[in-house]
Structure 1
């Protein structure tokens, strides 16, 4: 029997690519968007309204979802965005909103679906995090912090859900060619003169990561393998150099730190 997969944030980026790919493979796909009316007519899969920042929207969505499906096999937490900028120059309010979407939005949607997964005694929760949830690069302090929080939450959750035969997996991509970087919210006020030179370099390094990003189909393939049961690891870094980055961070921390510093100082 074909699996039913729910993907949040499925109107663009990884979510859209994954939804189209799984639909073509024969999966029953349900996507979400804050404004599904803008995209639904163009898409081959069902798109439902969901704003992960809004508790009432989550409640309405959950009630609506099970009017369209009777069984849910996989939840893919994909909705999110990125705040960039020097930590001291970034307002707490902007950082709080980053957490509201990337962390609390993900948690609240997952929590809303727990009862259904538990009754089924079966399911899978896949969350798209980021390599920055495993390391801490400059110019991405609040984004990195939100992804570290997501990693920690699901790291603990997997043990609690094991008794219900619910799998928990993380995907941690490096830079990939999606709209994440181009739609990032950057600090434009509260500029501190002491950071002027560093800010220019840091922004250039971030932009280089976006410009040199890999094909996102690699991430779609990695998620598909998890859904198909071909992999079962909790943590799944995806992209060039991820293995080397994590190895250096654990076993050659000074070399790792120097490489991060150099990536900024050498940026043009």
Structure 2
């Protein structure tokens, strides 16, 4: 295991240097760093949205770009990026998360065309969310509550209890590694 904070250029560069002391060939990159900010758009502070993009979008791009020179030199590799079905459908209570995942999808859809000339495949896994407690990443945790949105909050809270489990996710990633 190597330490990595995708929000930091310094951390990504240190990670890449250490990685290359341990491996000669880079076969697969699975971009899975991220988290979910929950909250009705109007209630969610813009700064929370900026941080959502810093991790989910820019962090993913930062790490991918740091590893692309090795993939290109090898003229081979696979990049599998975890996005979310939410990036396609835009449910209530997840505006910034949806926007960050939509950005990830657009970026990697374009990147796949650029990299095919180097025999580097780019694919995406778009699961629903995992069963988790999201309260610590909630706009409400920051004291912003507009009562008019209470119905949406209740529906969103109920929906987050219906996520996928780790085994389903692991299976999708392994399938992508084997086929991409």
Q: Same fold judged by TM-score > 0.5?
A: yes
Q: Which runs of 5 or more residues in structure 2 are unaligned?
A: none
Q: Which runs of 5+ in 1 are unaligned?
A: 1-46, 233-268
More helix by share: 2
Map 1:55-134 → 2, pairs under 5 A: 55-134=9-88
- What's the counterpart of residue 155 of structure 2? 205
Structure 2 residue aligned with 1:221: 171
Query: TM-score scaled to structure 1, two decimals?
Result: 0.64
Question: What SS class does the counterpart of residue 49 from structure 1 fall into?
Answer: coil
Match of 1:153 among 91, 100, 107: 107
Instruction: Tell me whether 1:166 sits opposite 2:120 in the alignment.
Output: yes
Distance 2:144 2:75 in 1: 52
Please give the alpha-carbon distance, in whole angstroms, between the structure 1 residues aligned to 2:16 and 2:67. Answer: 7
Give the greater-gyration-radius structure (CA).
1
* Deviation beyond 4 Å, 4+ runs, structure 1: none
Which gives a bigger RCO, structure 1 or 2 (Cα 8 Å, sep 6+)? Answer: 2
Contact 2:130–2:164 (8 Å) recurs in 1: yes
Q: Counterparts of 2:79 and 2:98 in 1: how far apart (Å)?
A: 21
Q: How many residues align?
A: 179
Q: Name the structure 2 match of 1:196.
A: 147
Q: Is contact 2:86–2:101 with CA below 8 Å preserved after alignment?
A: yes
